[in-house]
Amino acid sequence: MDRQECLSYLYNSRMNRRQFLGTALVAGSAGPAAMFAANEPHIDFPTDPRARLGVASYPFRAFIDSPRSRERDKTKPGMTLVQFPSMVRERFNVRNIEPLDTHFVSLEPAYLHELREAVEKAGMHVIDIPCGVRASVYDPDAAKRKTAIDNAKKWVDAAVAIGSPSIRVHIQGARGVAPDVGRAAESLRVIADYGAEKNVVINLENDDLQTEDAFYLVKVLDAVHHPYLHGLPDFCNSMMKGDEKFNYDAVTAMFQRAYCIAHVKDSEVDEGKVFRVDVGKTFAIAKAAGYKGYFSMEWEGQGEPYAGTQQLLDASMKYLSV
């Protein structure tokens, strides 16, 4: 049995430890990495409500200095991503952060070591890295799909370096091509296999309404059916269609496939129009799905991000404490 067959068989059969070891010995030619990949991910999620909360760097993009940050507002006081963990700890009294890819200065080992040291010194943890892969996982051009896969692998390696249990892979569009389930599944299976080797979960977020529609992602997730590939439910992104029922149906479907990370929002602003969601109702959806993972505050409403983030944290504490 080859590496992928071994992974699929072990995942779908739900065998016990003794059975797994026996099969792994038979499949030893697949190598240690493939044997490790056959295990489902395991994260010891905290149960204390505050310990489940984190703060994303994305809402603070106007403040964060980085060569790749196009939304830095020089009229506002700046900070680096290395300074972000201590700011979150002191300002919001939570222990988890979700740093955006464009806020990293580089992926060089020395920089990643510096960032990890800053996170640990502040008594913090990284819970996810949202990243783009600079190509489409469903592009008809195999070379471009390989670019997406290779770049995703680099972010998996970065996650290992800074101690993040997961990354979120953005599904970029391909010019003139509709989102394709088969090609996306093929690419993401390779990425998920690599994540399994490194014990890093790969997440897909209901974000872009064209390339990351929640129900398209559901088809992809179900087609891959991989223990290291999961959904990342965003509370409000699917509300951008202006259809409340669609949003809650989308969030429900995503939470049913989520494992370790979700984005908390109460609103989105698009071209001056404000889209709002019921945060309490969305937390109830998460609870009904049996979701045990982290909630990252990704405020995108009107006003400034410090007050907005605190508002989301307060609401999250309220609903998680019920």
Tens digits of residue pLDDT in 98-127: 999 999 999 999 999 999 999 999 999 999
Backbone angles phi, psi at 40, to 5 degrees: -75, 150
Going from N- to C-terminal start, the domains of the chain cover 1-39, 41-320
Q: Provide the token pair at 56.
A: 């994303």
| Structure confidence at residue 321 (pLDDT) | 96
Q: pLDDT tier at 39 (50, 70, 90 boundaries)?
A: confident
Contact present, 265 and 312 (Cβ < 8 Å)? yes
Average pLDDT of the segment spanning 48-63: 98
Q: What is the mean pLDDT of residues 18-38?
A: 39
Q: What is the pLDDT of residue 272?
A: 85
Superfamily of domain 41-320: Divalent-metal-dependent TIM barrel enzymes (3.20.20.150)
Give pLDDT, residue 98.
Answer: 99
Chain-centroid distance, C-alpha 241: 22
Residue 51 parent element (H or E): none
Q: What is the pLDDT of residue 11?
A: 39
Please compute the mean of the pLDDT values over residues 2-8 and round it to a whole number.
44
**Residue 227 confidence (pLDDT) above 60:** yes
Half-sphere exposure of 120 (CA within 13 A, CB side): 10
Residue 287's H or E segment, with its range, is helix 279-288
Range in 23-37, 153-167, 178-192, 222-236 with the lowest mean pLDDT: 23-37
- Which pLDDT score is estimated for 239? 97
Tell me the C-alpha distance between 154 and 80, whole Å: 21
Please give the pLDDT value at position 37: 44
Looking at residue 83, its pLDDT comes to: 98
The 10s digit of each residue's pLDDT in 81-97 is 999 999 999 999 999 99
